[in-house]
Structure 1
């Protein structure tokens, strides 16, 4: 606006004589009822010349958004032709943002913006201006309205409404086939510059797909893309403003494209020639066998029909297409006679039922194979009661269970007995067997539906008198499912939790699979094997579950890995369950939860330690280790043989304490040497550390024979010490290692020495007597001895 005013002044100055002067003012235009620029020009003769400048509108100002200067941004200037410059007028501003966002100098009429303005929040502001007399406060001109329009800058990048798009296109599509259109929006002003002009480009997905720069339509870029080779594609599209020029802002989105199937593959027989056998006595409608072709397509594009197109047996046999299995079943159309014809040859064709005309150029969508049928001679062979048998049996039956019985008879008048057998070529794993006499088929191995759902057996019936004449019948065994497999994790989960995770945060979604196939469909339940303070599982009730955190924050320095057992159960009968363990690593993550590192940082040595200090520390550690080893070696050399050489010498629970006790005299409390050699029992000696009230002469216990149990011997000695007043108040059996000769150590007994003056207190017998009896029961054997061993 300022530039326009300067240009207008310069134009007036150039057009008028130098003696003239020009003054710009705002005033009301009466003839057009609008505001406009009015130039009042005065000549040298004093006459006023009035000239109205049409097309210049004063009532619109322009302001640049996102102004970053330190001072207030200048908007424009208001000036009345009544202003004489003496300060008698006062300019007043009102309307949108007046006084806060926009301020006016009431003396000069200069308007400023006080802060940065965002055009995307508001594109223009409507204000009203008025000039009043400062002394009388009366308006000198009517109130006038004007607009401040915000000029746009490129401060918004294009955005897509969806982060991920899903689309599909038929395989084998021609180049340029439209897949999907993506559209990005830009919040900048589309009417000003190129800030909102978006250009699309492809960052990922070439050379398979392309995108139109102006419209964002994604099209195929390669011909004849084959679903059988690759089905899924991921395309990344970029939208950039400023017409795609350098410096423009951009945004991206991902488009997952799936190639849908079309019928571009013909059926194919795996064999060029198929051999079948049929007895001549087979009735009309008997199924001889089946043929099956494969098709790389899916769904209806893989459906096919079988027909006999040529051969010398076209009038003798039929073929029926099984829709569910896509097999061709060959059956007998007319009675067979071995003497008339022994071999028939059929040409069987398989052709797709839904052919796409666009792919006729790929060739005929059919294939043929040769079927040779041998007619077997029979001399009135046995005749089965059915042309074929179908038995259904659950997979959890026990081995040896009869699953069904086939019956056959001899059509001859002699009615020869029939012997049944299984054709082992149809049961190579020997899962079934048959009673040769009554034709009952039973299992010889466990059944597993998950390994094989159908078993096609061939049962042979032969007359005992003429075993060469046989009749065969097909037995189809369908294995019914039982819930005998526990659900398991669908995949291996590599799970991690961020150190800065919050309680209730999702870290993994898990699912399960089950080899079983229940009629009502699979239904899994997820739970924890035990309450876990760190994680919990939330069942989504759609065969998936979410693993959530239960607390805030984890530290990989304290625990780097957690193991979370998850119990997965199904809803069939009987209910099966298994426990899968999730390994959850603790990792550092950024603010968006993206994993950065899961390895614990190495322990760093202090920075102040030099190489010499480290070497000195290592030498000190080595010297200490050498001293410890030498000390241990000297101690072993000085150690003498203990009194008890082996633990096998004592067969009961005798606790050994490593205290020295009272020296040689204290060993008289119990002579452990007696246990080692019961025949060498010495006479009891009176203890010198107590003063008995009466002299008690101990009884000599006869020596225990060598084959006597040590336990019985200990029981006998305990009973003697129960009534011995000279026995110490011990509640355990202490053993003392052999100290050696001439020990200088005094007695360490806590009891008063026998040489001490005064009477000995024998109240300890009443206090320790029950405990000693309990010890005797413990070490004496019996039932309690089993518990202590």
Structure 2
């Protein structure tokens, strides 16, 4: 530590003690006008011996500037009433600044002789920057520089300083002698912390206390010394492929120095202290490169290298630092897998498959679990029949030898294999190749069942071969004895039962029709599986494939028997006819289409293709169905006449929409028409019967014949229902019931008069109100027979109103609804025909639910002013058409 301080002190003393080698004159004198305007060139400082590198010039007086060529130029308007001096500082490169005193003499002054001794002038108020050396050694304070003001000529002044380094951080670093202006430094300064300090100086009159000059900025430059060693930047971790060629870049070492840039203090030199036999480093850039191509990861995966960085461009007195850089060698596939054995042997029983028979160990020096290390095994010899497979164990890298296809002892007792061990990627930078290993596989003998040879026998046969035809034989042999003695043959699979197999001989005979067009045939092939069983019950399977040859046993047939021909406006229609033949070439396409019979007059053919032809109208035809006869034959002219039905119609979207308007209705259409006519005839007969019915009528007690319309309205509404005529119930029983007939009421008189009817009604006793009303209705209606019935009991020309009607109806529980209501309608029709202006006399009372007060609908009588919504008045508003119907149905004498 003490030696370092002594060294620094020696350097400072050396710098201060060196005489300045001036490259410029000590002073320059120039005569100028009293008033100098900006741009006026005063003089020029000679710079011939100063060089051109790093030359800087600046003036101590802000009124003047100095160009790089040494020309002194006026910057602002200046008055030179007397000799005026200022300095020009010249700094060349890293040398010390040199001052040139410039004297301006006004034209009014007498110039001094040029050869007289120069008078010493007081330092001007505008000094150049002061310099101090960083980290200067004690004692302190040290004088730095003297400042002075031009006003000191006329005033007695004192000096003060303020700013950074004085009363601002760093505090109390500088001070000034008030009377003389000497600036002093009181402690060492670190240039790396404060490379420059600028504070302000002021000149003040001691008498008045007023400033006699403008404040001046004082700049103090801290000169650098080599007090900081260089330091490394970034991690020192590098990678390079092993076996790399010389001068391959490994990485770059970077460093920095806190000392002043551009000085020898920061000129760093890089060097290696270790690893020089493997690597080089560039002294200025720090780039590390390989020195030879002998880097081997398998020998040393990582290589430490010690790097030194030294400033002063590597001078012995320069400061330095060292660090260890780590170079990692990246693995390449320069080592093939090697076998640990020279030969391997394995054994397996014949007829075994998918079994592991051997593990093959290898070693690889490359990096584990990389593509350079992982082995890949190849059988390069002995596996021509693909009996073996080798996989790689991902954990151990061993080869796993499998038998995937059964071996045959009779064909070979030993199988010799040659196995090669390789990697997933090729070898690099090595002269070695992949290693190989012989492997012997012994096959164990096993008693086996019979074997067919060949395993799949192909027999060509024509379809439709006659039954019983011998196609050949299919026999198996015992692999040990090579004999077929004692072997029996059985079919395992024969979907169509087309062949039989001789149990002892293996003969194949046709037992069923062989059809190429059968669904059991695929690609003209039909398979039969046969099992052979020896005396020890061991068996072997074989297959017979029938390769069926086609014969012309099919003719072309229409694909569609019915086709639609859509009408086209302004032209005759056409349609495509397509045929199909199940046979193969040359017994099928192209087909020959020809019209035959009467079809040739109305149709013609065009644009024939292999399987189709266009059928075109030869004449205009109405819509309808037409049968077209067409002869279709195959390439061998085998075929016949076929009939295709063509529907000529109007189409929408390809669909026929006018089929019902066709001239041909079909059987169902005729039947539907006849059914409609029959129903119309029955309806006419029904109307005739309704209008001319005789007096064999009877009122019934059944309400099912009436019209019941549901309404939730209790007041008069829009709906109307007719009160149909009902006959009274005799003693609570139906008049027509057999029980009523047994009472003898219907047998007493076959011609019952109105009075007798009324008396019979009275003898039944008083029933409820509804029954009484019906009884009164019956009596009243019979009293009107003077107008409705003739003296002979005829109902206006109808049959006698006798008990024969009752006898005929007594076998039924109720009258038919139509028969029951027909009496009522006849009477009402008669009423309308006579245009009676009175209410209907057969006004029946209707039951209503009592709600505790009078109904809002009013009276239900026939003479009610409010009307009766359940009455018969709706018949009065049926209109003229109903009256016309009534007039038609009435007899002629009634209309008169």
Normalised TM-score (structure 2): 0.37
Q: Pick the structure with greater CA Rg.
A: 2
